[in-house]
Amino acid sequence: MMAAHLAKEEGAPLAPSIYSLRGVGKVYARRSLVALENVNLDLRKGNFYSVIGSSGCGKSTLLKIMAGLTSPTSGSVVLTGKPVVGPRRDIGMMFQQATLFPWLTTIDNILLPIRIRDGKVAARAKVGDAQALLDLVGLNGFEKAYPSELSGGMAQRAAICRMLITEPAVLLLDEPFSALDELVRDFMNMELQRICMERDATAFLVTHSIAEAVILSDTVFVMGARPGRVIEAVHIDLPRPRTLDMVTSPAFGRYVIHIRDLLSQGASHEHV
């Protein structure tokens, strides 16, 4: 196992665990499929986490359980001391596509969760917060633009704002930049890091990219093939803020090789 501790945790007490999964399993009885088996995770306030594994290992199932969109067959999921038994206000979710409504302006798309949850008056009261988020992600001046007038990267930045407007305790990210070209994806990853650092956000990212996991994460959870289980939590000891230049460093390369080896080992031990 690679030796590493979070640089920001050295010499300081650990941040509190706000998200805890214990013995989480998921069985799809109709297909006799064990998707997840005995998954144990702790997410600490202000840290960035990634989960990586081969296709079909249960990453998306795990994310849906954490979001309260589906129930585990066994185990417990607790966020800020309360069981997750369904969708919650303090969970922010972002998907592979921006899914902005084409008939709404950028700022109206951002305010939509507030309008649905609390009504028009509450949404109007949040206009200042929405504008501040637009400034944060560099979309100042695009408040009244419609999705068709935004690039892919701009649309995803608007989707980030829509996720943050509800002030969630944790951000769950399902490969949010996978549909973007490589240059835009790199830029968006750096933007995501900056936003999370500025807001002391707790984030959990599903990805297929080892490099993306390493450049963004404080901890990378490596999952074995089905049934999905965490075979190692790899702590990434690289200084923040991370930069794209780090991908050529020896330390970065060692993390990538180690995680790739773990994935190869996990795939060779698949059992159904």
DSSP3 helix / strand / coil % (the chain, rounded to 5): 40, 25, 35
Identity of residue 225? A
CATH of domain 7-90+168-268: 3.40.50.300
166: DSSP letter: T
Classify the C-alpha dihedral 39-44-46-48 as positive or negative: negative
Show me where the domains of the chain are located: 7-90+168-268
C-beta separation of 2 from 219 below 8 A = no
- Distance of alpha carbon 145 from the chain centroid: 27
Identity of residue 30? R
pLDDT at 256: 96
Identity of residue 61? T
Q: Locate 65 and state its tokens.
A: 């359980």
Asked if pLDDT for residue 272 goes beyond 50, the answer is no
C-beta separation of 115 from 123 below 8 A = yes
Q: For the beta carbon of residue 184, count every other beta carbon within 10 angstroms.
A: 16
Helix (H/G/I), strand (E/B), else coil: 124: helix
Burial of 134 (0-12, 13-18, 19+ CB in 10 A): buried
Return the minimum-mean-pLDDT range out of 142-146, 247-251, 257-261, 264-268.
Answer: 264-268
Summarised one tens digit per residue, pLDDT across range 95-130 is: 877 789 999 999 999 999 999 888 888 888 999 999
Q: What is the pTM of this model?
A: 0.86
Summarised one tens digit per residue, pLDDT across range 43-91 is: 999 999 999 988 888 898 999 999 999 999 999 999 999 999 988 888 9
Distances (CA, A) of 11 to 5, 8, 219, 261: 11, 8, 18, 31
Q: Locate 256 and state its tokens.
A: 């990538």
Summarised one tens digit per residue, pLDDT across range 171-218 is: 999 988 887 888 888 988 998 999 899 889 999 999 999 999 999 999
Helix (H/G/I), strand (E/B), else coil: 146: coil
User: What is the average pLDDT across 12-23?
Assistant: 83
